[in-house]
Amino acid sequence: MQIKETDFGQDYHLITIENKNGVELSVSDLGARIVSLKALNRELVWGFDSAQEYLDNDLTIGATIGRTAGRIANGRFNIAEKTYQVSQNSGPHNLHGGMPGFESAKWEYTVLNGENEASVLFRLTSPDGTHGFPGNLEVEVRHTLTRDNLWRVTTRGVTDEATLFNPTNHVYFNLSGDLSETIDQHSLYLNSNSFAPIINSGITDGTKADVRGTPFDFQQEKKIIDFFNSRQPQSEIVDGIDHPFFFKQTGLRFMQAKLTSPDEKLAIELFTDRPTVVLFSGNFGKDYYLMRGKKVGRHQGLTFETQFAPGAERFSSFGNIVLPPDFPKETITEYKINFKE
């Protein structure tokens, strides 16, 4: 495994790992983020060429998100019958744990190289009271590339006071090789028979809806354009997909999703121990980013944000995101990169 460290600007660093198959993973201590993932000489994810461009445009792209991913309704939650009020940075709601958050931080890092895989281990302390969250939270995020073309994200948290912990990575995929192309000709499979409807303010309503007979059914692989053309009321709320999907089984042994490039030469397979993935199809309206010389925006990327469904702090059926004191929790998500010349 080859590792290269370079200057990313503004006192941040870019660390690139390459395996013998020509797969490259680049990450940065700005937000413990993925900046680049390459195979077949293609760029597979959204990313900017410098730290300054993230600071000027959007710090969530490719970043570690936390303490909690998604929206907390009205910024309020209860732990052990005590009510907490956290920052409201998305209308009345808390989004992605409040900003600045994990995505804005400069993380300490260590490079770890081995025969079969190499990793960058990032560390961060989120002090008690950050955006109103209780507990001093110690977080580790490990980005790993293996010799077998697997990108693994391992996230660990431990706190000294009960708090919420529901992190994710906010990667955007576009496997076409041209980030300015829409994702509508990509094919998508999901191991999911239910999703969480959302209401107009972007929060979940606590229900689980059956995907059968709806455009949200990806249990058989299909082109994403079929969804975009559906004009289903739930998709019109957000102009695309911005919904949690519940997996039929949980555990790393199950392939939970598969995204295939339009030319079918490259596919990403998703494995995770989380019960839910939030898909977001870059619903930016007429706004766009100038990224690596291309205009990138609406429906030109798809996230796979593995987590517990947003709303879990209110709805027990979505899972438990309370992190008890002195009880470390770890989550793993893997992206298997398959390609043919």
Whole-prediction pTM value?
0.96
From the candidates 170, 186, 243, 299, which is the catalytic residue? Answer: 170
- Is 305 labeled as catalytic in the residue annotation? yes
Given 43, 103, 305, 313, which residue is catalytic? 305
Q: pLDDT tens digit string along 203-229?
A: 999 999 999 999 999 999 999 999 999
Mean pLDDT value across residues 243-260: 97
Q: Rounded to the nearest 5°, which phi and psi values hold at 51?
A: -60, -40
**Encoded tokens for 180:** 């300015």
What is the CB neighbour count within 10 angstroms for residue 225? 15
Beta strands in 170-262 (DSSP E): 172-173, 187-190, 192-195, 209-210, 222-223, 242-247, 257-260
Q: In this structure, is the dihedral angle defined by the CA atoms of residues 308, 311, 316 and 321, taken in order, positive or negative? A: positive
What are the pLDDT digits (tens) for 123-176? 999 999 999 999 999 999 999 999 999 999 999 999 999 999 999 999 999 999
Q: At CB < 8 A and 24+ separation, what contacts does 248-254 make? A: 248/191, 248/192, 248/193, 249/191, 250/274, 250/275, 252/332, 252/334, 254/191
pLDDT at 213: 92
Confidence of residue 201 (pLDDT cuts 50, 70, 90): confident
The question of whether 170 is a catalytic residue gets the answer yes
The torsion angles phi and psi of 75, rounded to 5 degrees, stand at 65, 25
Contacts of 124 (CB under 8 A, 6+ apart): 32, 102, 105, 107, 108, 138, 139, 141
Token pair for residue 280? 């977001």
